[in-house]
A and B are shown apart, each in its own frame.
Chain A
Amino acid sequence: MIDSTRLRAGGIALAALLLVTACSSGSSSSPSSGSTASTEPGASATPTAPPAGSLQISGAGATFPFPLYSQWFYDYAFVNPAVKFNYQSIGSGGGIQQITKKTVDFGASDAILTQDQYTAAPGIQAFPTVAGADVVAYNLKALAGKDPLILDGATVANIFLGTIKKWNDPAIAALNPGVTLPDQDIIVVHRSDGSGTTYIFTDFLSKVSDQWKSQVGNATSVNWPVGLGGKGNEGVTGTLTQNDGSIGYVELAYAIANKVSYAKMQNSAGSTIEASIASTQAAMADFSGQMPDSLTISIVNAPGKDSWPIAGYTYLLLYMQQTDCAKGKAIVDFLKWAWGDAGTKDATNLNYVALPDAVKAKDLAKLAQITCNGAPLG
């Protein structure tokens, strides 16, 4: 009895092993989907292992651009099937950590690197790829179905500091004449996990409120004075939808996709602006002449009258001196494609804001300076 059981066990284990081997060898022997150069990006790929000799490039970092990057890499696989990109959105800090340790080939971050981080990764360069906007989302049943609320920087800062506690506070009422605000407590919701979204939001709050700047500061993760922490965008949205009278911040793309109410903002020029691609582009344009050589710049609280005040770039992190020339060249070629028409179309479709020409030019100029073993790749 025992022996037949063992025989059975062995037989099944063997069968399982054969199955797995068959799967894997089957996939590696069939031609890769990309190489058949199908023209429709919409066609789904059949499962194959990368063909022998194809390059595998890994990258890690910000969650904000992840949907866009995954679209880019997918489309680019049809342009150059010999390169396979693997991007994992582990967070801006994670991206910086991993590229510093060189466990990945490129990093991505919404946050601007600090001096210490530049020192820890000598030769690292940030390249802005796209920009995005944060919005202040809220759930107030009393205002359901009505026009979006209007807020401004100082008010938002005070709400998140906990000094404004009720929805019918005079500061909010002053910005929304004619709207009856309920006498209800404001429940603040913020991100519990560190994120680039928080970085951009706290950057904005630091610029519009001295109290915020001294008490809390600007980082991917801060010590929030009040509120509940939700993990990830869906954690924040989940908590928002379940608590009447709550307020939080999410990325614009997320708010649109999930049909969350978000406020209009009164920017520093005094005009009431809605978050959109156009208003984010205006914010970028306000700072376009000031892009430093490091190619990183904060674009929150833009001075222009059409500018959305809570916007930010997201950056790709690459070493200027590449050690693997094939991979370096592949990444450079990919970036040139991404800043071209095809890449820009993808970005706009997904509610990301493509770079203005001036910034693109600077990017490309810097890209041309990347070298591998002495020789330029660009």
Chain B
Amino acid sequence: MSASTDLLATGARQRRGRRRIVNRIMLGLAGGAAVVAIIPLAWIIAYVFVQGIQAISLEFFTGLPTPVGVPGGGIANAIVGSIITVGLGLLLAAPVGMLVGFYASARPRSRASIAIRFITDTVAGVPSIVMGIFAYTIVVLPQGHFSAFSGGVVLAFIMLPIIIRSTEEMLKLVPGALREGSLALGAPEWRTTWRVLLPAAMSGIVTGLMLAIARAAGEAAPMLFTAFGNPNMSTDLEQPIATLPHTIFVYANSPYPDWQAKAWGTALVLIVLVLVLNILARSLVGWRSRGMGAVR
């Protein structure tokens, strides 16, 4: 081989070598980022576990709150209350959210889509406490009392932007070929969406729903103005109701160590409940993206 090709070859080799090193470094950093992201997570979960496990007992799940110094008692009312309010919120927000997500994803560059994205992100930025005050103004005041219903409404407001955004983004990522193929076969748009696009984006949409549920399940501030809290067991939508995050908030703000221990126990219950829900949902839609996503 001539000298010049040798040089070229050397240069190419060097560039390749350097690119490989950069590749290694950046991928290593990505791994490092994942580790750093996991550390606070693991720490918080461990902390909540350690602090909360002492409060956990069968009675914790089945009993009602007891005052300070009275042993035992539990958070059954808050567990039921959270299921009811978050469930109601999901019922209200998921259909609307997914429909709006569909609309925005159909023609992403249209003025309507841009407007929707703008509005959604604005709603997402409203502090949960302001949402609570808003729901108080439009539900509680006209009704004249606090209620589980108003709690569900405010949670729906909070969940809405997360559901809309993730639905929209996931649908946009479904390859156009799928959509066009379905339309070419004569399916109307709604059917294309329901039967083709939705299943393809399902995993990502479920992530959005899970994030929304997780967020809603942990919001205490809006509950102060809507669901209000209730030391008694109640399933009545028209009466105030206890929720897990509100219970945590109240117990954590108290001076008494046994109540504070219950706060941690409640936090542990909340996190475990969300984890179980997450696993359940994932097992329904599969752990992998259904679309043509993964290389593996």
Contacts and interface: CB of A to CB of B under 8 A. Distances in A.
Contacts of B231: 70, 73-74, 85-87
A102 B67 contact: no
B146 interface: yes
A130 to B, nearest CB: 15
Interface string A78-119: 000000111111100010000001111000000000000000
- Chain B residues touching A, majority SS: loop
A251 interface: yes
Contact of B230 (A86, A102, A254): A86
A58 B146 contact: yes
A350 interface: yes
Nearest to B195: A2
A44 B70 contact: yes
B87 interface: yes
B193 interface: no
Given A70-B67, A233-B255, A5 B285 contact: yes
Nearest to B80: A23
Given A46-B62, A102-B144, A258 B234 contact: no
Interface string B237-263: 001100000000010111111001000
Nearest to A42: B70
Contact of A45 (B64, B87, B252, B285): B64
Interface residues of B, number: 50
B70 A2 contact: no
* Pairs of residues from A and B, 9 with the lowest C-beta to C-beta distance, nearest first: A254-B255, A24-B235, A44-B72, A71-B67, A47-B76, A70-B67, A232-B253, A47-B233, A257-B255
Interface of A: 2, 5, 8-9, 12, 20, 23-24, 27-28, 41-42, 44-50, 56, 58, 60, 63, 66-67, 70-71, 73-74, 84-90, 94, 101-104, 232-234, 251, 253-254, 257-258, 349-350
A15 to B, nearest CB: 10
Nearest to B144: A103
A2 B62 CA distance: 38
Nearest to A237: B255
Nearest to B223: A88
A67 B68 contact: yes
Max chain B Cβ within 10 angstroms of own Cβ: one of A2, A28, A41, A258: A2
A66 B254 contact: yes
B69 A349 contact: yes
Contacts of B189: none
A85 B80 CA distance: 19
Interface of B: 59, 62-74, 76-77, 80, 83-84, 87, 140-141, 144-146, 195, 199, 224, 228-236, 239-240, 250, 252-257, 260, 280, 284-285
Given A9-B284, A66-B254, A73-B231, 11 more contacts: A24-B80, A27-B235, A41-B70, A44-B59, A44-B71, A50-B232, A71-B69, A74-B67, A86-B231, A233-B255, A234-B254
Given A56-B239, A86-B230, A90-B224, A42 B71 contact: yes
A86 B67 contact: no
A169 B244 CA distance: 48
A28 to B, nearest CB: 7
Contacts of B253: 63, 232-234
7 contacts: A42-B71, A44-B74, A87-B231, A88-B228, A90-B224, A101-B141, A234-B255
A89 B250 contact: yes
Contacts of B69: 71, 349-350
Max chain A Cβ within 10 angstroms of own Cβ: one of B68, B229, B257: B68
Given A48-B233, A58-B146, A86 B63 contact: no
Contacts of A28: 235
A5 B63 CA distance: 37
B233 A67 contact: no
Nearest to A349: B69
B194 to A, nearest CB: 10
A86 B70 contact: no
A320 B73 CA distance: 36
Nearest to B259: A67
Contacts of B70: 41-42, 44, 71, 74
